Amino acid sequence: CYIVSAGVIKQGQDGFMHVVETHDPRDSALRVFAFAKDMAAAAKTVPMPHTGEPTAIRIGLHTGPCTSGLIGSRLPKFSLFGDSMNTASRMESTA
């Protein structure tokens, strides 16, 4: 499972990534949708090794608020949480 977001972080003048204070939600949604379409098109160009058929992928999209944070102490991982994340996950898994 991969998570893609748009309009959430941006590289600052100091070279580090920062959370964006304001963004255009419509633009962010359109950018994520365009990425999903491109990802689906690119997957079709990769043949499955055992059948030679094009690779098929499932994509779930949803917009809305979410919370982020690091999980774990030995090997911390960044993750996103919230109803938007849960809805997109359910859409992908039931496609």
pLDDT digits 0-9 by tens, 24-71: 888 888 888 999 999 999 999 999 999 999 998 888 787 777 777 888
Q: How far apart are CA 34 and CA 26, in angstroms?
A: 12
Helix (H, G, I), strand (E, B) or coil at 15: coil
- Top-confidence residue, 80 or 34: 34
Note the pTM of the prediction, 2 decimals.
Answer: 0.63
Write phi, then psi, for 78 (nearest 5 degrees). Answer: -80, 135
